[in-house]
Amino acid sequence: MSQTIHAPWRMEYIRLLENQDQSQGGCFLCQAVQALGSDPDRRSRRVLWSSSHSIAVMNKFPYTNGHLLVAPREHVSCLEDLSDEQLYDLQLQTVTATRLLKKAMCPQGFNIGMNLGRCAGAGLPGHLHQHVVPRWAGDVNFMSVIGNVRVQPQAMDLLYDELMALIPSITQ
Ligand SMILES: [Zn+2]
């Protein structure tokens, strides 16, 4: 039986993205693709790795620590606009994300999926992305007990370094 994680800070995220999405060039996933060539930008945007058609980043407003996003490099909103190669690569990188998180965090399960369109809950409807959320028994209870606590930025920095160190061992 699945339960929804209570993450009240996500409203802040959705409002932020609504503002970003309306401005020219405000797409954080396209900015992540552009940051690939620059170490400081790459780190501040928590870009983990890229492949021929995809990019993987840490979600800055995560449901749980370790919440990753895998997206096509191209700014595309509809699955049917992706080529077979882009679709296949997106799934391959999703598998890589689970392999990486298993190695780093030993999750007991995952929630993986997409919200397509604003009404389906997409914070950034213009650029589709797959959520990879690691889960542990009891994490829902923990979050609902703690209420407003969000994943600490310091914890995310530590995890970013840990994931970056592991990437060479899990990508081909
Ligand atoms: Zn984009």
Indicate whether 2 pLDDT > 50.
no
* pLDDT value for 19: 57
Question: 71 C-alpha to center of ligand 1: Å?
Answer: 9
CATH topology of domain 10-167: HIT family, subunit A (3.30.428)
pLDDT of residue 89: 98
CA dihedral 128, 130, 133, 134 (to 10 degrees): -160
Q: Mean per-residue pLDDT for 53-74?
A: 92
**What's residue 52's pLDDT?**
96
Give the whole-angstrom CA distance, residue 130 versus residue 113. 5
pLDDT of residue 78 exceeding 90, the answer is yes
Distance CA 41, CA 43 (A): 5
- The CA distance from 6 to 142, in Å, is 10
Q: Please give the positions annotated as active site.
A: 129
pLDDT of 22 reads 47
The secondary element (H helix, E strand) that includes residue 40 is: helix 39-44
Whole-number Å distance, alpha carbon 127 to ligand 1 midpoint, is 5
d(CA 98, CA 132) in angstroms, rounded, equals: 7
Query: Is the model's pTM score more than 0.85?
Result: no
Residue 68 has pLDDT above 90, yes or no: yes
Output the CA 165–ligand 1 centroid distance in Å. 27
Q: What sign does the dihedral 115-117-123-124 (CA atoms) show?
A: positive
Nearest residue to 128 via CA among 73, 166, 68: 73
Q: So what's the pLDDT on residue 61?
A: 81
Q: Higher model confidence: residue 36 or residue 10?
A: 36
Q: Which pLDDT score, from 0 to 100, does residue 26 have?
A: 83
Lay out the sheet containing 47-50: strands in order across.
47-50, 54-58, 68-72, 130-135, 109-113
Counting every residue written for the chain, the total comes to 172
* Residue 76 alpha carbon to ligand 1 centre in Å: 7
Rg (CA), the chain: 15
pLDDT digits 0-9 by tens, 81-102:
999 999 999 999 999 999 999 9
Give residue-wise pLDDT tens across range 115-171. 999 888 888 889 999 999 999 887 765 554 444 456 677 788 899 999 999 999 987
Residue identified by tokens 């552009």 is: 34
* pLDDT mean over 47-56: 97
pLDDT digits (tens, 9 = 90+) for 13-33: 666 665 555 444 689 999 999
